[in-house]
Amino acid sequence: MSDTSVKKIDSTHSPKGKLGQKYLASGKSLSMRLWENEQPTEDKQPTSRDYETVGYVINGRAELHIEGQMILLEPGSSWVVPKGANHAYKILESFTAVEATSPPAQVHGRDEN
């Protein structure tokens, strides 16, 4: 039998992760999170994750440094960070974006390292 459950998540009540992310809807193989009004940052050390990320910028600007490239993220931009890719974000101005991760980033603390 297929799963027919339906979920609605109100982000005003969503839990927050240690890095500032707000957890949104999550299924078995995909989850969403919101980065809201993230403030400018200094250069961070690159990291890699054991999940794929796709994102969409709502407001602000950031640089995505990934595998020797720099991609400017601005409102309306979307991006992909493949599983295992070495990357870092540099927030340039107050930044709001939504991301989807597969498998879900929050399972087993994948996005808290």
**Residue 32 · residue 99 · CB < 8 Å:** yes
CA-wise closest residue to 64 among 51, 46, 49: 46
Give me the number of domains the chain comprises: 1
Question: pLDDT digit string (tens) for 42-66?
Answer: 878 899 999 999 999 999 999 999 9
- pLDDT of residue 111 exceeding 70, the answer is no
Please report the pLDDT score of residue 44 as a whole number. 82
Please report the pLDDT score of residue 60 as a whole number. 98
Residue 96: domain span = 17-109
Residue 109 phi/psi, 5-degree rounding, is 65, 25
As a whole number of angstroms, the distance between CA 64 and CA 60 comes to 13
- Is 64 inside a domain boundary? yes
Say which residue, 73 or 1, is predicted with more confidence. 73
- Is 67 inside a domain boundary? yes
- CATH number of the domain bearing residue 89: 2.60.120.10
As a whole number of angstroms, the distance between CA 15 and CA 106 comes to 11
- Is 8 inside a domain boundary? no
Residue with tokens 């200094």: 42
